[in-house]
Amino acid sequence: MSGKGQPPFSTKPRLIGSRDPARPLPYATNEPTPGQAARREGTPVGFECGNGSAGESGHADYGRMKICYNAAVFDQRARSLSLLRHEAGHVVTQEQRGVFPRWLLPPNPINRSRRIAILGATGSIGQSALAVLRHANQMAESALSENGRFQLFGISGHENLGSLAMAAREFSPEFVVCSNTSMEAQWAHACPEFGGRFNAGAEALVDLAAHPDVDIVVAAIVGRAGLESTMAAIESGKLVALANKETLVMAGHLATDLATKTDARILPVDSEHSAIFQCLHSGGRLEVRRVILTASGGPFRTWTAAQQRDVTPEQARAHPTWKMGAKISIDSATMMNKALELIEAKWLFGLDAAQLEVVVHPESIVHSMVEFVDGSILAQCSPPDMKLPIQAALDYPNRFESPARRMDFRVPFGLNFEPPDMDRFPALLVGLEVARRGGSCGVIVNAANEVAVQAFLERRIRFSEIVPVCRKVLDSHPFEPYPDLASILELDRWARLESCKCISSY
Ligand code: NAD
Ligand code: MG
């Protein structure tokens, strides 16, 4: 679709412009993708991008996926695959089509409601997850069904005890955790009627994530604070509905290794990754040519670098299409969020960094796309509403009626796509580099970004200084190809200190 227009899920009809005939259609080119270009130039993108230098270390423990880390082999396989397809009567096996990482498999069926723990229940994702549960419960009630799909077993919050108490009253979970110990004493006043167990502190968060009665953990804590609990859920073999992308950015190699060992599931909540996941069902792993993440472009999509210099936290938080927590809103404005999502996609889907691309799509209706080797591009579309991807992860591989908004095709509208401007949004270059190099790069960039975003929110640095802080700390860090958890925590501390030093020099 082409032409400009407002998203079609508002109630007012409107006119749309038509495509500029002078503008060529986007398929009139045979430009190689960055990955193809690199391969033509002989750059060994595949091995380097797979998982840092851990290509031979056994990280790719999931059988045939090993082969996918070599982009050259990938191309060769894809070519021979299409040849195979042309041989009349030849049956192409699933192995030849390629299999996806096992943490993406549907969970084992169980004959009762799934018990859910929502970590970060007071945040934007946490509240949307509660809305999905509320809707599923209402559906069960109206069907006079004794057992709903889900039962809320536990919730956590860090500060907003009022919001935590409201959820406790409505859903009567067995466990409530306040991760912030300084607020522990206030719980009795916030929710005197709560009859379940209340615990406080970071360890209580880990205990809830690993509790044997929990089937699904919604990992919706923001930033590095979500790392330990998400890893604990993976270690305990849970189905993790992953919103906390920072876990994969910091420790993607460890998290995926662990999931393989414990048979945990890691299913995406991030809307782009949910879209990719849904599209990937159309083909085998070796049939995927590239994955195209869409980006709204944030509030400063059309702003020059000079204009971006003096933006305020309030302007940066005002996202045009999504309502989100403070940190991810600033990340969206710098496009560091897309950078983190590139890294997340690489780990989650076992992709080669050279297969990842970003396109700016201001309407946020196409949530991402997958191109297969035959040139088919599949997209997942819906109005921007996180309830949909959350629900998709909680009930995978099923679908049920959702409370999310619907598209209205009776109203004319247009969808726009434009290449990202790497000069105005250098965070994307950082993200591509980190996805390609792997190793310790993710933990460093994540830490530097968290510190710089906080400094910007506190008006200690300019908006335009956030990404340079990340770049500087990334460039000066002692690269480690396969850091273990202890090294990751140490590198995180180091990067935070370096970022503070860098910020105080501004
Ligand atoms: P938010 O700020 O609205 O909520 C964060 C939650 O984490 C809150 O419940 C808060 O109490 C908790 N928390 C904060 N600091 C904590 C700490 N030190 N220890 C334990 N808990 C702590 O954030 P959000 O927008 O809901 O985002 C949550 C995660 O989901 C992020 O990783 C974000 O990147 C990801 N995500 C969000 C969206 C979205 O639409 N909001 C979309 C995709 C991915
Ligand atoms: Mg996203």
Q: What are the pLDDT digits (tens) for 22-69? A: 655 655 444 555 444 544 443 332 222 233 333 333 333 323 222 233
Q: Helices 427-437 and 336-349 meet at what angle, rounded to 10? A: 20
Which mutation among 128, 221, 230 tests ligand 1's pocket best, with the greatest number of atoms within 8 A of CB?
Answer: 221
Atom of ligand 1 nearest to the CA of 270: 43
The residue among 330, 336, 341, 327 whose CA lies nearest residue 463 is 330
The whole-number pLDDT of residue 222 equals 98
Task: Report CA(160)–ligand 1 centroid distance (Å).
Answer: 12
Distance CA 194, CA 168 (A): 7
Judge whether residue 185 has pLDDT over 60. Answer: yes
Q: What angle do CA 334, 417, 396 make, to 5 degrees?
A: 80
Whether residue 236 contacts residue 259, with contact meaning beta carbons closer than 8 Å, is answered with no
Q: Contact, 50 vs 60, CB < 8 A? A: yes
Ligand with an atom nearest the CA of residue 219:
1
| pLDDT over threshold 70, residue 10 | no
pLDDT for 6 equals 56
- Asked if pLDDT for residue 17 goes beyond 50, the answer is no
Work out the percent of the chain whose per-residue pLDDT is above 90. Answer: 75
Rounded mean pLDDT, 447-456 = 98
CA 157 to centroid of ligand 1, rounded, Å: 10
Q: What is the DSSP letter of 50?
A: H
Closest ligand, as measured to the CA of 384 = 1
Structure tokens, 102? 């096992």
Cα 174 to chain center, whole Å?
Answer: 29
> Ligand 2 centroid to 245 CA: how many Å?
9
Question: What is the rounded distance in angstroms from the CA atom of residue 295 to the CA atom of residue 463?
Answer: 19
Task: Answer for the pair 228, 234: CB distance below 8 angstroms, yes or no.
Answer: no
User: What class, spelled out in words, does domain 271-383+417-504 have in CATH?
Assistant: mainly alpha
pLDDT band at 323 (very low <50, low <70, confident <90, very high): confident
Residue 207 burial (CB count, 10 A)? 16
Proximal ligand: closest to the CA of 324: 1
Assess whether pLDDT exceeds 90 at residue 277: yes
How high is the pLDDT of residue 71?
36
Confidence of residue 489 (pLDDT cuts 50, 70, 90): very high
Using the atom order of ligand 1, give the atom closest to the CA of residue 322: 40
- What integer is the mean pLDDT of 339-356? 97
| Average pLDDT value for residue range 128-136 | 96
Asked if the bond preceding 397 is cis, omega within 30° of 0, the reply is yes
d(CA 127, CA 121): 6
Q: Which tokens in the block code for residue 473?
A: 């700390």
What ranges do the domains of the chain cover? 35-99, 114-268, 271-383+417-504
Residue 387 clears pLDDT 90, i.e. is over it: yes
Mean pLDDT of the chain: 86
pLDDT in tens, 67-110: 233 333 344 444 444 444 555 567 788 888 888 999 999 999 99
Class of the domain covering 114-268: alpha beta
**Cα–Cα dist 229/232, whole Å:** 5
360 and 368 Cβ atoms separated by less than 8 Å: no
